[in-house]
A and B are shown apart, each in its own frame.
Chain A
């Protein structure tokens, strides 16, 4: 659906990373972790296109106005990378943005009783928080493996811990957690009976998908792509499906078929 949302807060968490909270209609309460929204940062034609963001959190709050009932909110976690996100970072409480949400296919939470393993790189932690919240609501055991170049890339770890998630951290420079790739920290923890949910840079997802396949562990990945429409019409955001060849092409639309895919659905390099 398309709606106007009011910015409730827009806070810089660590250099270049922001967390923005917005009002949302009741319908968003039934969105699934892994789904995303598309946001128009202003009414101008530059930037022209909407920007896609995974849902970091959806919940309800009680506004401070007398007599007001509970109101739904949604949150995004984003990194300032270009013109659109730069403008976004300058929005304040009370500003209005135009949203399409909830869009795409979210995570399949899987059967109860498994150990849920969340793997996130940088801003890829965004959809995993909403997922962790849902999983903990179901009483599941959840572990989070978070990676980044340095400590500034590791976001909202305390929030995950507050949910009761066991967290493991790896940074390239060792400024937080273990030094090295998150996949190295992850590998010893993979065993039958676990299920992976991953979001982050493609090389990280590539490594996680291969590791999952080797260990025989089911793995879902949340992909990122350039998008124009977000509703499966423009076909701008496709990726290669597992059986893609030059002769028998198999493209999957990230916005409509994803952004969450079973790792075996996609072709990894």
Chain B
């Protein structure tokens, strides 16, 4: 049998396989270059970029929980200008699509960051973060109110000609309402889920572990929630979907594809295994070979209910 066709496309972004690295878990790419071949994965997504550099939250910022971890990094990043000057030149030399994740403290800032990225060589698309649970502005506020989400997405759409992915929050009553709002506002694709708001308590000190009190839960613990949401959204909107949430193995990734995802993002797994994204792509291919499946695309939404 020939090697299976692993390629997929998200809103015109052609990828050699469906495995992307999730924003905030892969730095700006170079951090992982010693551990995996950056040209073996489908796409890289940068740390969330804001107009000005952002310092992030006080420490402690992370804590491990059962089957997962909580983080309250607070979107620390170098800012859009330093990204373009210092990080993008390296990424341009890597033959893998780079998707810039962005956010703003205000509606206007979302538009401004998007317009600065527009026309930049080396950026294949943008992913708009409206779902960070750890900062008041620039995140969850826009991600939990369908009207606010629509405003952000419409404005970003006006300021970019690049494929526009919107990253959705699970911290809502009905993720489908948010998905539809973003689709109506012009999103080209949806990625979900971002982290679930959680907390951890230090029983000895009788205090929250995180300085921010609450944080975003990620890792294998959230996979069932993520799968359910991807499945619900895939049934309701016709946009391509990128599944995220606790993917540790190729089999996890393929479950998301059956649920309706065209691609997946690997996040927390990269922390414990820096070569996770490459390994997961390989494991997916192995599954296809074992099952005599010619193209990974044939699995998208193939779940039988």
Contacts and interface: CB of A to CB of B under 8 A. Distances in A.
A48 B56 contact: no
A2 B35 contact: yes
B68 A234 contact: no
Interface string A226-269: 11110111111111000000000111000010000000000000
Contacts of A47: 64
Given A233-B31, A235-B73, A228 B271 contact: yes
B31 A236 contact: no
Interface in A34-65: 40, 45-50
Contacts of A8: none
Contact of A233 (B25, B59, B220, B248): B25
Interface string B38-66: 00000000000000000110011111101
Nearest to B220: A45
A232 B76 CA distance: 12
B250 to A, nearest CB: 15
Contacts of A238: 56, 59, 61, 76
B90 interface: no
Contacts of B56: 235, 238, 249, 251
Contacts of B68: 48
B20 interface: no
A109 interface: no
6 contacts: A2-B274, A48-B68, A231-B35, A236-B62, A236-B73, A251-B55
B66 A228 contact: no
B75 to A, nearest CB: 9
Contacts of B24: 234
B27 A232 contact: yes
Tell me the dominant secondary structure on chain B's binding face: loop
Contacts of A49: 64, 69, 271-272
Q: Give the bracket for the number of chain A residues in contact with chain B.
A: 20 to 34
A46 B272 CA distance: 12
A225 B31 CA distance: 19
Contact of A235 (B61, B248, B268, B274): B61
A100 interface: yes
A100 B61 contact: no
Q: Which has the most chain B C-beta neighbours within 10 Å: A46, A98, A233, A238?
A: A233
A68 interface: no
Interface in B260-288: 268, 270-275
B142 interface: no
Tell me the dominant secondary structure on chain A's binding face: loop
A249 B73 CA distance: 14
Contact of A48 (B27, B31, B67): B67
Contacts of A40: 272-273
A45 B219 contact: yes
B34 interface: yes
A90 interface: no
Nearest to B24: A234
Contacts of B31: 229, 231-233, 256
Given A48-B64, A236-B71, A251 B76 contact: yes
B272 to A, nearest CB: 6
Interface string A160-195: 000000000000000000000000000000000000
A1 interface: yes
Given A235-B61, A239-B59, A228 B248 contact: no
A45 B272 CA distance: 10
Contacts of B268: 48, 228
Q: Which has the most chain A C-beta neighbours within 10 Å: B34, B35, B76, B275?
A: B76
A236 B61 CA distance: 5
A234 B67 contact: no
B26 interface: yes
Contacts of B69: 48-49, 228
A45 B25 CA distance: 18
A226 B271 contact: no
Contact of B271 (A45, A229, A239, A256): A229
Contact of B32 (A48, A226, A231, A256): A231
